Amino acid sequence: KAKKKKKRKRPATVKTFFRAMVLPGADLGSCFVSLPGSGVQMPGLGLGLSHNGGFSKEAVEAALQHGIKLYDTAQRYGTEAELGAILAAAGRNSDDPQDTAHHVFVSTKLWPANYGTRTAQASCHASRQKLQREVLDLFLLHWPDAGAGDRNREARLETWRELEKLVEQGVCRAVGVSNFTARHLEQLCEDASVAPAVNQCEFHPLQQPQALRETCRELGVVFEGWSPLAKGEALALPAVVQLAQELQRSPAQVVLRWQLQEQVVCIPKSTQPQRVVANAAVFDFELSEQQMQVLRGLHCDRRVTWDPTRVP
């Protein structure tokens, strides 16, 4: 017998979480989202980290110095230990979010090779040790393919229940998913006791999954966008270049400001300290509705990397 779909009310925080951000003159510290279900305060703009070879100690240090409070990494990147060491050396590895002078928001992701009831929790503990944190702010399932073929739905749920236990144990403040389509997300919300707090997906002017974003809103899941600059492709788009000239900003700043005004958590990557600083300087100007529509019109379903729509 088919399971009846649970109806979930969208928390008010999902509708209004960037209210302060859209006011001209707001600063980096006032841009945050209150994660549904936990009340955890997640910064709206952060620094996305990458693999060995694409990781920059200087970029992380510059981000810390300029007040960036969100750092997103993953087991697959192999740089959790590097990030943990930098945060510890800077005295920014406190587990207490009330200790604003020493705490930053850290999120990491569980790789599918570590999915399962026997490995998920142990893998989370290994990540915590590398990051030198007793408590993770956010822990995500990295990819919807659990390697179980037709049993992917059941396998995802088994691992998700392990993440629920980590929250109960106080090891993670919030848990979520990454690269889940609307179908994957709806299945998990139907089956699980706790809905994901976040769904982190590809989002940039060429890839604007509006149906997925609407599903997230309906289910009370915060939408976070990775690769906001489309690996640099967005910076050369004529419409972006023209808006940058009109606003006297860089193309990257225009795209990032657009994403924030779209109420999408934004984690641009850069290994260059000066670009990290420039990417955060997006709170003293605002795009008009007409300018927003120009960028919305660039969607062409272009992906710059993985395509999760083929995952069963």
Given the structure tokens 């703009």, which residue do they identify?
45
CA 205 to each of CA 201, 227, 236, 257, 282: distance values in angstroms, whole numbers, following the listed order: 13, 10, 12, 12, 17
Give catalytic status of residue 77 as yes or no: yes
DSSP 82: H
- Alpha carbon distance 35, 233 (integer Å): 31
Given the structure tokens 């023209």, which residue do they identify?
242
Residues in the chain: 312
The kind and range of the H/E element at 155 are helix 152-168
Beta strand segments in the chain, E:
32-34, 41-43, 47-48, 70-72, 105-110, 138-141, 175-178, 198-202, 222-226, 265-266
Catalytic residue among 77, 180, 258, 283: 77
Given the structure tokens 């990147």, which residue do they identify?
77
Given the structure tokens 């489309």, which residue do they identify?
230
Which residues form the catalytic set?
77
